Amino acid sequence: MAVIFLHSGSMAPEISRVKFAVVMALSMAALVGAAVGAAAQTGSQPATPARGRAAHPFSSARTPPLVIPEQFAPPQEAYASFSAAGGAAPEPTPPSACQMRLAKIAVFQALGTLVGPGDCGAPDAVQLQAVVLPDQTKVTVTPPATLRCAMAEQVTEWMRDDVAPSLAHFGPPLRALDNFDSYECRGRNRVRAAALSEHGRADALDVRGFRLADGREFRLVDINVAKDWREKTHASACARFSTVLGPGSDGYHEEHIHLDLAERRNGYRLCQWEIREPPPAQAESTAPSPDETGAVEISADEVPLPRPRPMAANLTNSRAAKKSESK
């Protein structure tokens, strides 16, 4: 690498200068070499990611640890605790019986075993991307849901056999499932130190609703959505899943429906989802109006009261609001 030019004439000072340069170059090289060696041994992060990848002695030989989609991944120690992170490359595992069945009715990616942190994790997990309906059209799961295979299979069958047929008479085909949450390492209802949620076992899915091809949304908790359809969906969900939580259950499920396959003693199942009434405007329209029926009998407690003063009106309203909140 170093090219040394020797000149004729006064050689002595020239040579000593060259010697000095060579010594300096060698010692610099030694220092750099030692630093690189130390970095490789301790596994410390290189200064620049692009160079660091190539410098890492195991980077090409080792299979990267299993990656959970970022939106579901626990924020901190998760990556460190995957079993594959420190060991040899894992053997490619053949698809499970569940995956073989699921492959015929859904689009998914096998994730293998999810491990930690703590008690979180699941065997045979998949990322469910779409449900394939009997007519081969696909219903996208947005965003894709990370679930253990058995749960993914149950969700897929529910969509194919119950949800899609129940929406068929609304016109356009079903296109998407609105996934609110799937695998996430956390306590129940996001409460710290609470018992581990089924979400931490990849055994739960929070569903907000469904979307048809024309963009219409069918939200499960929306009182404007046809009540008989919501009732039908409630019945089919409670028949398939051992836990169904919705509005009226515990205050944490007013915006979505929680589904899971938790196993309990004596096969106990939890089906707590209150189907709320449509807005008053629709309910009133079905009641007979005074014009149609002539004289309308008014019971004593329905006798109109004088208009309340503003202060009193506010009080009454806030009481009514509180009452409905606590339901």
Residues within the interface to Zn ion (CB under 5 A): 204, 206, 258
The distance of closest approach from Cβ of residue 227 to Zn ion in the complex, given in angstroms and rounded to an integer, is 23
The distance of closest approach from Cβ of residue 204 to Zn ion in the complex, given in angstroms and rounded to an integer, is 5
The distance of closest approach from Cβ of residue 276 to Zn ion in the complex, given in angstroms and rounded to an integer, is 19
The distance of closest approach from Cβ of residue 117 to Zn ion in the complex, given in angstroms and rounded to an integer, is 19
Nearer of residues 203 and 206 to Zn ion, judged by Cβ: 206
The distance of closest approach from Cβ of residue 258 to Zn ion in the complex, given in angstroms and rounded to an integer, is 3
Nearer of residues 178 and 206 to Zn ion, judged by Cβ: 206
If one counts every other C-beta atom within 10 angstroms of the C-beta of residue 201, the result is 23
Nearer of residues 132 and 244 to Zn ion, judged by Cβ: 244
The distance of closest approach from Cβ of residue 200 to Zn ion in the complex, given in angstroms and rounded to an integer, is 11
Tell me the β-bridge partners of 205.
Answer: 259
- What whole-number distance in Å separates Cα of residue 25 and Cα of residue 251? 71
Tokens 């992170």: give the residue: 85
Tokens of 228: 């008989």
DSSP 33-100: HHHHHHHHHHTPPPSSHHHHHHH-TTTTTSPPPP---TTTS-SSGGGGG-GGGTSSPPPPPPPPHHHH
Nearer of residues 99 and 182 to Zn ion, judged by Cβ: 182
Tokens 């030694």: give the residue: 30
Nearer of residues 124 and 206 to Zn ion, judged by Cβ: 206
Residue with nearest beta carbon to Zn ion: 258
User: Taking CA 138 as the corner, what is the angle to CA 134 and CA 139, rounded to the nearest 5 degrees?
Assistant: 110
Nearer of residues 119 and 277 to Zn ion, judged by Cβ: 119
Can you list the alpha helix ranges (DSSP code H) found in the chain? 11-42, 49-55, 97-102, 149-158, 164-167, 227-240, 280-286, 290-293, 310-325
